[in-house]
Amino acid sequence: MFEGKDLRFASAGVGGSVALADAMVIPLRQTAVRSWIDRIGELDLVPDLGEDVGSIRWFRGLGTLTALSVCALALLPDFGPVFGAQPALPTEAEFEEARAQMIMPIAFGSDSGKRMAATDTVVALAGSPERPRIELTATLGRGDSFSRVLQRAGVGGGEASLVTSMVSSATPLNGIEPGTPIDIVLGKRTTKNVARPLESVAFRARFDLNLEVSRSGNSLQLIRKPIAVDDTPLRIRGVIGDSLYRSARAAGAPATAIQDYLKVISGRTSLSTLRSSDEFDIIVDYKRAETGEVKVGNLLYAGVDREGRSAIQMLKWTVGETSQWFEASGVGESRGALSRPVNGAITSGFGMRRHPILGYSRMHSGLDFKASYGTPIYAVTDGTVAFAGRKGGYGNFVQLNHGGGLASGYGHMSRFAVTAGTRVRRGQIIGYVGSTGLSTGPHLHYELYRGGRAVNPMSVKFTQRAQLSGNDLARFKGRLNSLKSVKAGAALAPLRPTERVQEKPKREIDRLTQNMDGRPPRG
């Protein structure tokens, strides 16, 4: 059914029929024909995946995302190297042309620039000229030979042996310190197949002696040049204060001397008994040369001045072939089998006793030494630390193996100073007195083992104390009074000026520019 004016054509015969047909076809012509591209375009291929999860529309979007991801991965670029055309290598002629423009270092021969053939005006030399003299400095290495040092420097074997013999007559060759510089001057030789003649050798043989071997005519002469040395010992005094070590270091005492000082004093009394008002007294071997060098030696004297108590005075003295520390009265220690592990009295011996904590009798397999908390404990002799740790009723325990089936044990320590496997020397600190384990108070429990079994430590005598007498005691007292008469810091006083011989110039330019009167040139 059609509306409007189109209905009027229905009554108009054939013309009306045609018009009616056209009216019916017009709506069909107005409907566009849709292709498959249009249909795909109407599909929602990229929906929001956060909506309608699990629906056909959601799975269609997931498929689109997967396809795009696969395409993106497939189109990733390759990160491999990009190979280009290799440049052609220069020819020999091109290389030599470029080499002519280079600057080559001396280490590589410095052979650059244009190469030109010699002309007829060039005359070849029969031989290259030699330097009239060679001045060099060699260094004596550790374990090296004085003669080998000279020969490596170019001195002939005969002259090297002669110089070595002359030097050994003035000072022992093994007394020359490693690292000593040796100034050598070689003269001009007659032919190239012989060694250069030696003109002079100069070096410092000892702290107080310079030696020089110089040529005079056809022979070599040894010249001794003694060096004035002030051997006044260095004495350092001061108040102990809060820390003996820090106070001594602040006063200028060397660190090695302080360590030796603490070891000597702790062997005489417990360091914890020292008061802050007490004064330390340290004397070390000290030498000063007129050339300005200083040589600090070993500790000579260790003392403590204590208010209201007897002073500690320990002097190092040599008896026979061994050196040891003696008190001012001449009492010292001689080398024995074992030294005491701690400075204190024995409070409990070896054998059966009633245990103070457990309350019943049992074997006491060692010695108990009375000592205050923190007192150093020393190795009775050389050995190796076999154990260092916690051990039942012993508390903190250290065992040393000394070889020959002999071992020693130290219990109830407050802390350790060594670890397992450490090699220790006689008198070395291995720990400190404490009260760990089954202990009623600070002390040292010391045990001695032979063949793995505990034995009475008293069966092996500790170091016995020696007593000087007669002339030995008189010389000892004289040395002690001589050291104590040295004023603190006297070794640091300025040296008296001495007349010094002017040194010969070592450089050729200095020798040529030196004035005839021996003074260096002005300006």
66: left (phi over 0), alpha (psi -120 to 50) or beta: alpha
Asked whether the predicted pLDDT for residue 157 surpasses 70, the reply is: yes
Locate the DSSP E strands across 131-266: 134-139, 181-186, 198-206, 209-216, 219-226, 229-230, 234-239
Statement to judge: residues 194 and 300 lie in one domain: no
Predicted confidence at residue 271, as pLDDT, reads 83
Query: Which pLDDT value is given to residue 400?
Result: 94
pLDDT digits (tens, 9 = 90+) for 357-369: 665 677 788 889 9
User: Which pLDDT score is estimated for 496?
Assistant: 65
**What is the per-residue pLDDT for 2?**
43
Considering 226, 258, 283, which residue would you say is the last residue of a domain? Answer: 226
**Contacts from 159-167 at CB under 8 Å and sequence distance 24+?**
159/195, 159/197, 159/198, 159/220, 162/220, 163/198, 163/201, 163/213, 163/220, 166/213, 166/220, 166/222, 167/205, 167/211, 167/213, 167/222
Residue 326 lies in a domain: yes
Q: Is residue 57 part of a domain?
A: no
Distant-in-sequence, close-in-space partners of 162: CB < 8 Å, separation ≥ 6: 220
pLDDT in tens, 23-63: 665 665 555 556 777 776 677 777 888 888 888 888 888 88
**Is the pLDDT assigned to residue 150 strictly greater than 50?**
yes
Number of H helices, E strands in the chain: 10, 25
Say if residue 366 is in the same domain as residue 318.
Answer: no
Among 77-91, 246-260, 393-407, 466-480, the least confident range: 77-91
User: What pLDDT, on the 0 to 100 scale, is given for residue 106?
Assistant: 67
Give the pLDDT confidence score for residue 80 in this predicted structure: 75
Q: Is the pLDDT of residue 267 over 80?
A: no
> Are both 314 and 363 inside the same structural domain?
no
Assign 467 a pLDDT band (cuts: 50, 70, 90).
Answer: confident
Does residue 296 lie in a domain region?
yes
Among 139-153, 311-325, 456-470, which is the least confidently predicted range?
456-470
Q: What is the pLDDT of residue 513?
A: 44
The beta-strand segments (E) located in 269-365 are: 279-289, 294-305, 312-319, 322-327, 331-333, 346-348, 351-354, 361-364
What would the pLDDT profile of 367-376 be if each residue is shown by its tens digit?
A: 899 888 889 9
Residue 417's pLDDT band, with cuts at 50, 70 and 90, is very high
How many angstroms separate the first and last alpha carbons of the chain? Answer: 135
Smallest Cα–Cα separation from 342: which of 410, 438, 274?
410
Give the end of a domain, one of 333, 365, 390. Answer: 333
Is residue 488 included in any domain, yes or no? no
Average pLDDT, the chain: 81
- Cβ(166)–Cβ(220) below 8 Å: yes
Is residue 446 included in any domain, yes or no?
Answer: yes
Q: Which pLDDT score is estimated for 28? A: 54
Identify whether 179 is part of a domain. Answer: yes
State whether 155 and 204 are in the same domain.
yes
Q: What is the pLDDT of residues 321-350, one digit of tens each?
A: 777 888 888 877 655 567 788 888 888 878
Q: What is the mean pLDDT of residues 397-415?
A: 91
Residues 366 and 389 in one domain: yes
Is the same domain home to 217 and 258?
no
pLDDT at 269: 81
| pLDDT at residue 505 in the model | 46
Global pTM value:
0.48
Residue 381's domain spans which residues?
Answer: 346-463
How many domains in the chain? 3
314 compared with 85, residue with greater pLDDT:
314
Tally of CA atoms within 13 A in the half-sphere of 237 that contains its CB: 14
User: Do residues 366 and 409 lie in contact, with contact meaning Cβ atoms separated by under 8 Å?
Assistant: yes
* One domain for residues 329 and 359: no
CATH of the domain at 362: 2.70.70.10
Q: Answer yes or no: do 164 and 217 share one domain.
A: yes
pLDDT at 83 over 60: yes
Query: Contact 328/476 with Cβ under 8 angstroms?
Result: no
Read off the pLDDT band of 431 (50, 70, 90).
very high
Residues 176-191 have a mean pLDDT of 89
The single-letter code of the amino acid at 44 is D
In this prediction, residue 33 carries a pLDDT of: 58
| DSSP states of 362-415 | EEE-SEEEE--TT-EEE-SSSEEEEEEEE-GGG-EEEEEEEETTEEEEEEEEEE
Separation of alpha carbons 236 and 259, rounded Å: 14
Q: Are residues 220 and 322 in the same domain?
A: no
Whether residue 408 is predicted with pLDDT greater than 80 in this model: the reply is yes
State the Cα angle at 243 between 241 and 248, rounded to 5°. Answer: 85
Answer yes or no: is 110 within a domain: no
Residue ending a domain, among 463, 490, 507, is 463
Highest mean pLDDT among 240-254, 267-281, 324-338: 240-254
C-beta atoms surrounding 456 within 10 Å = 15
pLDDT(384) > 90: yes
pLDDT of residue 8: 47
What's the pLDDT at 500?
42
Residue matched to tokens 């600090």: 296
CB atoms under 10 Å from CB of 287, counted, come to 18
User: Using an 8 Å Cβ cutoff, are 290 and 495 in contact?
Assistant: yes
Does 429 lie in the same domain as 370?
yes
405 and 454 share one domain: yes
Q: Tell me, yes or no, whether 157 lies in a domain.
A: yes
- pLDDT tens digits for 294-312? 888 899 999 999 887 888 9
pLDDT of 522 higher than 50: no
Instruction: Name the percent of the chain lying above pLDDT 70.
Output: 81
CATH number of 326's domain: 3.10.450.350
Give the per-residue pLDDT at 216: 86
Do 440 and 414 fall within a single domain? yes
**pLDDT at site 3:** 47
Percentage of the chain surpassing pLDDT 90? 25
Confidence of residue 5 (pLDDT cuts 50, 70, 90): very low
Cβ atoms 68, 49 nearer than 8 A: no
